[in-house]
Amino acid sequence: MNKVLPLLLLFLYTQSWAQVNAKWEILENRFESPEFHRAKLTLSNTGSSDLDAGWKLYFNSVFISVNTQVQTEPFQIRHLQGDFFVLEGKNASPVFKRGEEISITYQSRGPYLKNSYAPEGLIFQDADGTHFEIKEYQVEAISLDQFREMAASTPLPIPTAARIYSQNEGLSLLPKEQLPPFLPTPKSWKYTGETLKIKNAGLAVVGIPEFEEASKFLLLAIKQGYKPTVNRAEAPIQIRIVKSSELPVEGYKISIAKRLVFISASSPKGAMYGVQSFLAMMPADFSTRITDEFILPQVEIEDYPAYSYRGFFLDVARNFQPKSQILKLLDLMSIYKLNVFHFNLANDEGWRLQIPGLPELTEFGSKRGFSEDESDFLWPYYASGADPKKSQAGSGFYTVSDFQEILAYAKGLQIEVIPEFGVPAHSRAAILAMESRYSKLLKAGKTSEALQYRLAEDDDQSKYLSAQNFRGNTVCVCQESTYAFYEKLVLEVKAMYQNTGVELKNWHTGGDEVPSGVWTASPTCKDFLAKNPDIKLEDLNDYFRSRAASILKKYGLEMGGWEEIGQTHFGNSVVPNTKFADQNWRLYAWNAVAGWGGEDMAYRLANAGYPVVICSSANFYFDLAYDWDPNERGHTWSGVTDMYQAWKTVPGKLYLSHDQTIEGKEWSWASVQASFTKLSPEGKKNIIGVSGQLWTETVKSPEMLEYYLFPKMLGYIERAWVGDPAWSDAESEEEMKTKRLVEWNVFANLIGQKEIPRLEKLRGGFNHRIPKSGVMVKDGMIYANVQTPGLVIRYTQDGSEPSESSAIYSNPIPHKGGEKFRVFTPSGNAGASIFLD
């Protein structure tokens, strides 16, 4: 039998059949009430044969409504789960003839804000079920000028070249000696002499046994870059890491006089921070080039943090990040003295940690790909691809060994890892994985075992839709198998910590965004409530929290969760839930959209008695776009956030953290302060720290992750260590804003002159956003500036793209038309250009 011919025919058939191209364009974008956008999707059959009636087009979009209206007959758009939709015929889609174009127009609520918000991940399914990803897909982008016209009726601060210039006014290049020695800024520092440049000297690092890890870390770091041919005639460099009991637990001192370096600390944490600060004073390329010269600034430093909790939250459930990227981020956290890695390992869209005894969690829940019924793996949320084996962002998990390596690595850097497994909502991946287990064991006749860890139930007709548009994403809190699952999870994860020699102290339960309508038509809950008349339907959330807390307490763990676990409803208002205020539950206060009225919730919860971590969405959510440019990726639901917005946060006076609402309306400090909750003395003690967050719906790769974080995250890092900025203590609003600009100029120079060059060298380099230059034309002259002085503005006057060899802007130039401006880093990396007509 000739096997080659059928395979060849199949190949030719597939190649001819799988030729569907697509084009998407915006038709109307309305910002006035009623807000909506109207768009057109055009499909082209460029293959050599007709496509039978009944074909479907699947796609992803976080940014259209679940009831999007199609204006082209006979089509409809049907919402499946989350961001996954299908375009199909109301009965059956028509025959798609070769050479034919089909244009489908639809309308969705809300304006269209970003070019990355267009439908993505297009998967075409033929009538016989065969499918393929559409590779030829064109999205017609809207320009900044077009977007500005569309949003003309709104106060949105569109980042035109002139607006950027205005925002950067008051910034100027400062001498390096006026800048702090490193980021985050130490509490006090004093340069005591000229920096020494020492060649071919011997070097010794001596530390007490208690600080052995810090000593080894420092010696290894130095050896990466400093390889002298030791000249015995040269006096050696001595670095001594010593104990000083009077220092705060995370505090340190550095004293460098000639060739003698003292790093003093009272604990291993302080010793590590002192070591990192010492290394931060080395040249940016210290770890990437071999040199026989050692740089020693002559300086006295004393430093300690404002907060005991300085966290970074990373979601790897929505989109996955490899272990290597986690280790790279841990290195950066240590460099910048962040001490808590809050690791979100499970959500609706993925389960990312191997759990012994529950293999389905990763066999099913860690994979995403295309199917009609989501029976073998999760759907390809966030356009993660049709093939689960090739889905780098959608599929993936950490083995027990991987996770233990991460734990050990973090421990060596004095970083606590807090795992998060969200319950009772945000649990769809776990629910479906346990349903897979249930079905498999039930078929094998193992009914008792099948029911042991089941999270769903039969015949639950409750109707609800989560904040991320999921149905069936909330566990049944009225059945014991849910708590058996949770206890199994706690036991297995705790064992991973113990077997690594790491103490697990804190556990994050999630607990946020439980949808309205859950458990309302649950037979199990109806029976449970009948047997427990003291518990009402509206009490089930509190019942679950109590049970979860009991399990954690049983194993010696402290419970934490998003702010919702410490809240309840009073009429139409959300208020602190005093029922649990004495339980020491750690609350992560996140929902602080500027202008929506909940900006002081962190204070209300702290005053009620809860330990609180400030996670303000309007300041510290790094998945928000940098600005309102339609080409800047990211969310806008809580406004936009750049490095300045994060830097100017005042955790102790949160009403000072904004100048505008998320829509760009005026934010009056005085009027907001009048209605803002004031922290009580006890409430102040309950603010234990801050956290920066990166959710990953729109983050598809390690490179994108780094772009979202840097330099935005650097503003947060300053606040996490330093606390409230000095300008916030000024007596008048005018004085505060004057001092704020002075302090911002110092910080912006620190970033431009020192930190961006470091970021481009550390750990192989971090991808970061380079700002556009501000440009203004006045009286026939062009003025340009940059947000981070120390970066270089280059320009051309013939319309060509500026390169490293282009002229450097230093003074105003005549405006002739056709000028382009572009910002460059010292290593030659460049940002987007600005063009003047």
Q: What is the pLDDT of residues 598-647, one digit of tens each?
A: 999 999 999 999 999 999 999 999 999 999 999 999 999 999 999 999 99
Distance (Å, rounded) from C-alpha 340 to C-alpha 615? 13
Average pLDDT value for residue range 770-798: 97
Six token digits for residue 31:
């910002």
Q: What is the pLDDT of residue 150?
A: 97
Q: Which residues contact 834 (CB under 8 A, 6 or more apart)?
A: 161, 772, 773, 775, 820, 821, 822
CB 513 within 8 A of CB 564: yes
Query: What is the DSSP-derived secondary structure letter of residue 629?
Result: -
Q: What domains lie within the chain, and their CATH numbers?
A: 17-142 (2.60.40.290), 188-303 (3.30.379.10), 309-729 (3.20.20.80)
User: Which pLDDT value is given to residue 169?
Assistant: 97
Which pLDDT score, from 0 to 100, does residue 289 have? Answer: 87
Helices 702-709 and 712-722: angle between axes, nearest 10 degrees? 60
Computed over every residue of the chain, the mean pLDDT equals: 96
Helix (H) or strand (E) holding 20: strand 20-30
Query: What number of other Cβ atoms are within 10 A of residue 638's Cβ?
Result: 20
- Number of Cβ within a 10 Å radius of residue 373: 6
- Is this prediction's pTM over 0.75? yes
Among residues 515, 571, 508, the alpha carbon closest in space to that of 541 is found at 515
Evaluate whether 818 touches 799 at the Cβ level (below 8 Å): yes
pLDDT given for residue 62 in this prediction: 95
Which amino acid does the sequence have at 558?
E
| Mean local confidence (pLDDT), 263-269 | 98
Across residues 784-797, what is the average pLDDT?
98
What does the alpha-carbon distance between residue 515 and residue 499 come to, in Å, rounded to a whole number? 37
Catalytic positions:
513
The span from the CA of 477 to the CA of 541, in Å, is 8
The CA distance from 147 to 162, in Å, is: 16
pLDDT score recorded for residue 837: 85
Query: How far is it, in rounded angstroms, from Cα 322 to Cα 307?
Result: 30
Q: How many Cβ atoms are within 10 Å of 264's Cβ, its own excluded? A: 21
Identify the pLDDT of residue 18: 65
Give the pLDDT band (50/70/90) at residue 15.
very low
Of the chain, the percentage scoring pLDDT greater than 90 comes to 96
Per-residue model confidence as pLDDT tens digits over 465-494:
999 999 999 999 999 999 999 999 999 999
Compute the distance between CA of residue 327 and CA of residue 333 in angstroms, rounded to an integer.
Answer: 10
Rg (CA), the chain: 29
**Pair of tokens at residue 307:** 């907060």
Phi and psi at residue 361, in whole multiples of 5°?
A: -55, -40
Task: Evaluate whether 765 touches 794 at the Cβ level (below 8 Å).
Answer: no
Joined together, the tokens standing for residue 43 give 């499909």
pLDDT tens readout for residues 556-586:
999 999 999 999 999 889 999 999 999 999 9
pLDDT in tens, 814-835: 999 999 999 999 999 999 999 9
| Interatomic CA distance for residues 319 and 307, integer angstroms | 30
Can you give the pLDDT at residue 44?
98
Cis ω before 186 (30° cut-off from 0): no
Per-residue pLDDT of 67-111, as tens digits, reads 999 999 999 999 999 999 999 999 999 999 999 999 999 999 999
- The answer, yes or no, to whether residue 805 has pLDDT greater than 80, is yes
**Long-range CB contacts (within 8 A, 24+) of 248-254:** 248/304, 250/304, 250/305, 250/308, 250/339, 251/302, 251/303, 251/304, 251/305, 252/277, 252/301, 252/302, 252/303, 252/304, 253/300, 253/301, 253/302, 253/303, 254/278, 254/299, 254/300, 254/301
Q: Specify the pLDDT at position 16.
A: 42
Do residues 822 and 834 lie in contact, with contact meaning Cβ atoms separated by under 8 Å?
yes
Beta strands in 200-286 (DSSP E): 203-207, 237-243, 252-257, 260-265
In 46-97 the beta strands, taken as DSSP E runs, fall at 56-60, 69-70, 75-81, 84-89
Residues 6+ apart with CB under 8 A from 356: 400, 492
For residue 696, which of 688, 707, 685 has the smallest C-alpha distance? Answer: 707
CA distance 795 to 814: 12
